[in-house]
A and B are shown apart, each in its own frame.
Chain A
Amino acid sequence: LAKTTQPISMDSYEGQEVNITCSHNNIATNDYITWYQQFPSQGPRFIIQGYKTKVTNEVASLFIPADRKSSTLSLPRVSLSDTAVYYCLVGDVGYKLSFGAGTTVTVRA
């Protein structure tokens, strides 16, 4: 898996948009960018995956610039229940996963 760098923590308030940027300068041509969310005492949950440009689903959007050396996960109008750790993974997520520290997002009322 390519090395990724993301902020350790972010604070937000209910109703705001949260954007988490992940840097992955060594991304390979075939690599996908995948984000997981993990709540305390639960397993990681796949939330979104993309290769280039923009991907949107019912949970989040993923923005990937043309050079693909970074990506931004966007959580629209967060609520208290979005408080979790968010992990950015780049590369082969089919076999060995490598979760770093992730970004702890805390949403306050």
Chain B
Amino acid sequence: DVKVTQSSRYLVKRTGEKVFLECVQDMDHENMFWYRQDPGLGLRLIYFSYDVKMKEKGDIPEGYSVSREKKERFSLILESASTNQTSMYLCATGQGPNSNQPQHFGDGTRLSIL
């Protein structure tokens, strides 16, 4: 089974802080993704990476950056946290871009910015 581990289940930070969310996978998948999930808005893609040191912006990259120094680890960084970044953050991995290669998700980090 694919295992995608997110470093924290719950996190509380203050406005203006720099926040790091970590994700580690154990299946040697090429692709890794960061989403946020908000009620009524579904899942929205923030960034994804298809290789080490490679990254692509998703639909809502503003206020975020990412880092992928090793294949198994993908970090999401909130440069200066704001209250509108309070959300559930989900990391996912996938073998490839094709329709028959589904993504596998971690359990999520519920982040609250005060």
Task: Please report A residues at the B interface, Cβ cutoff 8 Å.
Answer: 30-32, 34, 36, 41-46, 49, 51, 91-101
**Interface: B55 (CB within 8 A):** no
Q: Which listed residue (B31, B37, B99, B106) contacts A92, Cβ 8 A? A: B99
Q: Which of B96, B101, B106, B110 contacts A41 (CB 8 A)?
A: B110
The one of B98, B103, B106 in contact with A97, judged by C-beta atoms closer than 8 angstroms, is B103
Q: Mark B77-114, 1 if CB is under 8 A from A, else 0.
A: 00000000000101110111111111111111010000
Contacts of A41 in B (CB 8 A): 9, 88, 107-108, 110
Beyond A34-B102, A95-B94: 4 further Cβ-contacts under 8 Å?
A: A41-B88, A43-B91, A97-B35, A97-B103
Contact (Cβ within 8 A) A93 B58: no
Q: Helix, strand, loop or mixed for chain A's interface?
A: loop
Interface residues on B, range: 20 to 34
Q: Would you call A93 and B92 a contact (CB within 8 A)? A: no
B74 interfacial contact with A, CB 8 Å: no
Do the beta carbons of A98 and B42 come within 8 Å of each other?
yes
Q: Roughly how many angstroms separate A60 CA and B113 CA in the complex, as a whole number? A: 39
Q: Are B42 and A100 in contact (CB under 8 A)?
A: yes
B residues with CB within 8 A of A: 4, 9, 31, 35, 37, 42-43, 45, 48, 58-59, 88, 90-92, 94-108, 110
B60 to chain A minimum Cβ distance, whole angstroms, is 12
Bound Cα distance A41, B91 (Å)? 13
Contact A94 B99 (CB under 8 A): yes
**Are A43 and B45 in contact (CB-based, < 8 A)?**
no
9 closest residue pairs by CB, A with B: A43-B105, A94-B97, A32-B99, A99-B43, A99-B42, A46-B102, A43-B90, A32-B100, A92-B99
**Bound CA–CA A45/B48 (angstroms):** 19
Chain B residues contacting A42 (CB-CB under 8 Å) are 107-108
Q: B43, A46: Cβ atoms under 8 Å? A: no
